[in-house]
Structure 1
Amino acid sequence: MSDAHRPPPTRRDVLAAGLGAALLSGAAGHPPDRTPPPSTRPPASTPRTDPMLTRPIPKTGEALPVIGLGTWQTFDVGPDASERAPLKDVLRRFLDAGARLIDSSPMYGRAERVVGDVLASLGDTPRPFLATKVWTTGREAGLAQLETSVRDMGRGRMDLLQVHNLVDWRTHLPVLREWKAAGRVRYVGITHYARGAFDDLERLLRDEPLDFIQLPYSLAQRDAEKRLLPAAREHGVAVLVMQPFATGDLFRRVRGRPLPEWAAEFDCDSWAQFFLKFVLGHPAVNCPLPATSKPEHVADNLRAGFGRLPDEKTRARMARVLDT
């Protein structure tokens, strides 16, 4: 899942509430949240020459770039070239920046097929890390769904398969492990969007051999910090974060407010980066998955994966900004 479960205020909305059109960075519909002071923040259009930050997948040590891409709603489009052109630009910018992990699900309508089609149309690009899910009941239905996902999105390969929202996990987890043992997938995991499922997720972290867990976590929803993130770290399970913008609530809560000057201390020049760097500041997190169909937004999100990250003292200060 992604931050598009309900229509959030756009970054244009945040701008219109008081930041002013003069703050536009030249990308229509995407406001930077304050004017960078001279010599401290490069404009968003400036290419980064340093590599994107990575974190190791605990079970293997494989380095995974820290910004991923969700596809809920944003990639559920038809075959029309005008609908797919922005998505092609999104994926090109995403991969060119050094990012890799693209997450989808059969639940997301046509998103898996669109990802596969668009990646194929890009030609020779850096290899993405492809993740999707099984979202049905029963072994045979699950197998059929997995085969379709691997064909449509992965063109025969897949890096990570997850049980979506723990649906029939007792049936599907053994199948995913069979596929991993046979070399059909490299990693297996579980997901759930609801904080009410955190007890179940924690129990499975402790009782089942897992490579990944995907959960909601953001500056506005920090419940996972209490037990779930520490449990993932204790058991060596990589963490993917859905809803890093709290389904748009974070942009609503900072509407009309300038970005704090001290955000420059951790190389942050927009509210989107502020929210993503807070998530990445937790040592258990491998990769947040913001979803977008707008090239200018993915460019902004990607910049959160570069430069310094906030330490615990700074993260507490970031939380106070939101709480006040």
Structure 2
Amino acid sequence: MHPSRRAVLAGTGLLPLALPLLGQAVTPVRAEPAALLRRAIPSSGETLPAIGIGTSRRYEVAPTPEAIAPLREAVLRFVALGGSVIDTAPSYGTAEDVLGLILAEPGLREKLFLCSKVGTPGREAGLAEIERSFKRMNTAMIDLVAVHNLIDTAMNLATLRDLKAGKRIRYVGVTVWRDSQFADLEAVMRRETLDFVQVNYALDDRVAAQRILPLAAERGIAVMVNVPFGRDRLLKAVQGRDLPPWTAEFDCASWPQFFLKYVLAHPAVTCPIPGMAKVAYVEDNLGAARGRMPDAALRARMETYVDAL
């Protein structure tokens, strides 16, 4: 079996500074992980670390110290390793409340690129939902708010642009989560000026690469990717299997990195947002944003491999 990213890092953690001289002890130093790949937001040029955290399901816990403790550890480790993007939504149960408690950690908020959504039709109702997000997360500014699942897109985008003009949010966008929404998404992308889209794209769900990702590149729209593990189908399909030897050609140390590197290797993708509720998942997944990415030939080989499972 190939080692986990955690094992790989641990195995190279201590390096000597020099050979001992005249019996003098040498203090070892810990090797720091390489910097994360960063991708630019086309509308501004600002760059983001190329792996983020999605909070659907995994952060929908009781807002108690005991339930939040492992999530706080995961977020703090994520930031310590160079991550910044965290995506949530009012519809994700208690996730915004939980994030609000985690964000109370001194100095944490300014290190994050915080994203939420609006999924209520009507100007007053949509604005009220956004205001609740500010309150639940205890923040005066949200970096990105997107129209969730294209709900009342024109009205909600107008509201978001007003908030952007007032410097309460920095970017606006729209989201979908299934292939059947792509025709409507394409129409919105052609009609509206957007900073971001969020879309489902994975090694076993490649439809977005046909029209949506090329259009995002053409229109200068950043792309966040939800369900990059194919709604967990991919991880289940490879359970108990060793990585193929050729994955060493793109510095892949685990199956999660295999699937994330495939997504990241598409030039239109800005940031996949897998769920990460444990430190071990953070350490492993962020490894996908380091080292070499698969080229076109290797991506085709990855597709053939997964399609045969």
Aligned to 1:253: 237
CA contact (8 A) 1:44 1:299 kept: no
CA contact (8 A) 2:257 2:287 kept: yes
Of the three residues 307, 312, 315, the one matched with 2:296 is: 312
Matched ranges for 1:162-201 at <5 A? 162-201=146-185
* Residue 293 of structure 1 pairs with residue 277 of structure 2: yes
Measure the CA separation in 2 of the matches of 1:96 and 1:78: 25
Deviation at 1:43, TM superposition (A): 4.7
Query: Mean Cα displacement is larger for which, 100-109 or 314-323?
Result: 314-323
Deviation at 1:154, TM superposition (A): 5.1
Q: How many residues align?
A: 290
Measure the CA separation in 1 of the matches of 2:297 and 2:10: 27
Q: Residues 271, 265 of structure 1: CA spacing in aligned structure 2 closer, same or farther, 3 A cutoff? A: same
What are the superposed Cα offsets for residues 157-178 of structure 1, whole Å, 9 maximum, x if unpaired? 1100000001111210111111
SS at match of 2:34: coil
Measure the CA separation in 2 of the matches of 1:262 and 1:194: 31
Measure the CA separation in 1 of the matches of 2:46 and 2:275: 24
Q: Which structure ranks higher in relative contact order (CA pairs < 8 Å, sequence separation ≥ 6)?
A: 1
Q: Structure 1-normalised TM-score?
A: 0.85
Measure the CA separation in 1 of the matches of 2:288 and 2:214: 23
Aligned to 1:52: 36
Counterpart residue identity of residue 92, structure 1: L
CA contact (8 A) 1:53 1:66 kept: yes
Measure the CA separation in 2 of the matches of 1:79 and 1:217: 31
What are the superposed Cα offsets for residues 269-298 of structure 1, whole Å, 9 maximum, x if unpaired? 000000000000000000000012122112
Of the three residues 198, 209, 224, the one matched with 1:240 is: 224
Aligned to 2:287: 303
Measure the CA separation in 1 of the matches of 2:284 and 2:36: 13
Measure the CA separation in 2 of the matches of 1:80 and 1:58: 39
Of the three residues 65, 68, 79, the one matched with 1:81 is: 65
Measure the CA separation in 2 of the matches of 1:76 and 1:184: 25
Task: Determine what percentage of the aligned residue pairs are the same residue.
Answer: 46
Measure the CA separation in 2 of the matches of 1:225 and 1:154: 37
CA contact (8 A) 1:91 1:119 kept: no
Matched ranges for 1:208-223 at <5 A? 208-223=192-207
Counterpart residue identity of residue 133, structure 1: K
CA contact (8 A) 1:130 1:154 kept: no
Aligned to 2:45: 61
Aligned to 1:114: 98
Deviation at 1:120, TM superposition (A): 1.2
Question: What 5-or-longer segments of structure 2 have no aligned partner?
Answer: 14-30
Measure the CA separation in 2 of the matches of 1:48 and 1:266: 20
Measure the CA separation in 2 of the matches of 1:278 and 1:299: 18
SS at match of 1:137: coil
SS at match of 2:91: helix
Query: Mean Cα displacement is larger for which, 46-55 or 277-286?
Result: 46-55
Measure the CA separation in 1 of the matches of 2:143 and 2:196: 11
Aligned to 1:153: 137
Counterpart residue identity of residue 158, structure 1: I
Measure the CA separation in 2 of the matches of 1:51 and 1:89: 20
Deviation at 1:42, TM superposition (A): 4.4
SS at match of 1:58: coil
Measure the CA separation in 1 of the matches of 2:284 and 2:293: 16
Q: Residues 127, 45 of structure 1: CA spacing in aligned structure 2 closer, same or farther, 3 A cutoff? A: farther
Of the three residues 215, 229, 249, the one matched with 1:265 is: 249
Aligned to 1:124: 107
Question: What 5-or-longer segments of structure 1 have no aligned partner?
Answer: 1-18, 26-31
Aligned to 2:27: none
Deviation at 1:44, TM superposition (A): 7.9
* Residue 136 of structure 1 pairs with residue 120 of structure 2: yes
What are the superposed Cα offsets for residues 121-162 of structure 1, whole Å, 9 maximum, x if unpaired? 3x2346100000001121111111101112222511110000
CA contact (8 A) 2:147 2:157 kept: yes
Q: Residues 322, 45 of structure 1: CA spacing in aligned structure 2 closer, same or farther, 3 A cutoff? A: farther
SS at match of 1:188: strand
CA contact (8 A) 2:36 2:289 kept: yes
Measure the CA separation in 2 of the matches of 1:293 and 1:45: 25
Deviation at 1:82, TM superposition (A): 1.8
Query: Mean Cα displacement is larger for which, 138-147 or 78-87?
Result: 78-87
Of the three residues 190, 198, 211, the one matched with 1:206 is: 190
Measure the CA separation in 2 of the matches of 1:81 and 1:174: 38
Measure the CA separation in 1 of the matches of 2:166 and 2:279: 37
Q: Residues 163, 207 of structure 1: CA spacing in aligned structure 2 closer, same or farther, 3 A cutoff? A: same
